Structure 1
């Protein structure tokens, strides 16, 4: 990370650069043409985007440059890339598919957050730097509030309601730990954006990019199955405690 810092490369620069890579990959997919341009090039661009997407957060933490602006910007630029890719592959159907993909990624976010909260662990450290441009930050927060926050509230409310169906209106800390076992976060993390783009890259190389968009409903069904399983885990633990 030190070489990047010495070159005055900031996390936001990395975010914007890997966003350009992702959108460029979508443009190549939509344009079509020879296999190297419509398959190989976008597949490689997406894997480079993934590497840089992981790098920006590491760089921010290593150099004490985490900011609210950077966190919102990273999330929303990923959304822009996801939308561009899904529309490039599926046309107008890419819009609802992007929403479905967002719900899958939001589930990953919520399950990790709840897993850590149930064990008294810190989920997101406070931003190390202040001094964000107030207008830019306000605009980013407005986008987040309009698109991501309703998903978090709807899914979070549903997950909580399902827990209360199982244990009643007053879940105990033990109930919450049983409801948020490590396997659920592992499953959701393996459906995260890194895996999504890796799978899309493989689909591109195979010449079947639509296989990726068609997999999104199947991914959602997997998460629904995991949700049923974790409800069963709460019932099982509760049954053991009453013996």
Structure 2
């Protein structure tokens, strides 16, 4: 029964994030089983996850590495519980969706600010934050565009219905829309006049699956390991390495699309 409920609570994804599916989602499911009968509002869980992430950043800034690392993993569990609870209870709202995304960005900014404070390496912390934000954005948009290209539902945001929803939607557009448009324009430019098969090769499942394992749950797990080891600045270097890896994945997509186009031209 519990396994069936867990499957019902899963978000439809084109890629499989192993750290999330094998560790954090099952742990979050235990939290959901407790909260569901109590009719706890999913946005409250999202807010608690955000507060836990901020506490992790405070502990990191104070040099209390083990508590910071543990709080960060608790934040990830609660972050997963929020979505699972919303899906199981049928209370998926625009307010909750926007709140979750914006709190994630706030927590990440606080964590890197704590890295800068605790290590004195401000430039590296800023670079790491920008790199991580870019990697997460590419991950989100790669799956979104993949599903759109393959005719799958992309999970649009629910309609807003109040002032609070409207404010969070405005913040979302301010913080995320420019990045989303940049990715869309880049892809549209690269695929201009491309044949349908070349477009499908560009939006390939392998790229989406690899990027899925650079998702938020995995990122915070690795961040927590770095913090627990007393080397929080190491994660900034890892994020920069991930950004370089994402660029290589983009080059791979270019090669796949061009190869299909070249083979089609030769067959004509």
Q: TM-score, normalised by structure 1?
A: 0.88
User: 1:167-196: per-residue Cα shift (whole Å, max 9, x none)?
Assistant: xxx233322211111111122111111111
Separation in structure 2 between the aligned mates of residue 65 and residue 110 of structure 1, nearest angstrom? 25
Separation in structure 1 between the aligned mates of residue 264 and residue 35 of structure 2, nearest angstrom? 53
For the Cα contact (< 8 Å) 2:160–2:166, is it kept in 1?
Answer: no
Separation in structure 2 between the aligned mates of residue 6 and residue 222 of structure 1, nearest angstrom? 44
1:142 aligned to 2:142? Answer: no
Question: Which structure 2 residues correspond to residues 91-240 of structure 1 after superposition, within 5 A?
Answer: 91=117, 92-93=122-123, 94-95=125-126, 97-124=128-155, 127=158, 132=161, 134-164=162-192, 170-240=193-263
Separation in structure 1 between the aligned mates of residue 176 and residue 127 of structure 2, nearest angstrom? 14
Separation in structure 2 between the aligned mates of residue 60 and residue 171 of structure 1, nearest angstrom? 39
Residue 74 of structure 1 and its aligned partner are, at CA, apart by 0.3
Question: After TM superposition, which residue ranges in structure 1, 4 or more long, deviate above 4 angstroms?
Answer: none
Task: Name 1:46's counterpart in structure 2.
Answer: 72
Residue 137 of structure 1 and its aligned partner are, at CA, apart by 1.2
User: Gaps spanning 5+ residues in structure 2: where?
Assistant: 1-31
Residue 47 of structure 1 and its aligned partner are, at CA, apart by 1.1
Task: Name 2:40's counterpart in structure 1.
Answer: 9
Separation in structure 2 between the aligned mates of residue 173 and residue 64 of structure 1, nearest angstrom? 37
Count residues in correspondence.
230
SS at 1:115's partner residue?
helix
Residue 116 of structure 1 and its aligned partner are, at CA, apart by 0.8
Between 1 and 2, higher relative CO (CA 8 Å, sep ≥ 6) is seen in 2
Task: Name 1:86's counterpart in structure 2.
Answer: 112
For the Cα contact (< 8 Å) 2:198–2:258, is it kept in 1?
Answer: no
Separation in structure 2 between the aligned mates of residue 69 and residue 225 of structure 1, nearest angstrom? 36
Separation in structure 1 between the aligned mates of residue 157 and residue 84 of structure 2, nearest angstrom? 15
User: Gaps spanning 5+ residues in structure 1: where?
Assistant: 33-37, 165-169
Separation in structure 1 between the aligned mates of residue 233 and residue 215 of structure 2, nearest angstrom? 19
User: What is the Cα-based RMSD across aligned positions, in Å?
Assistant: 1.8
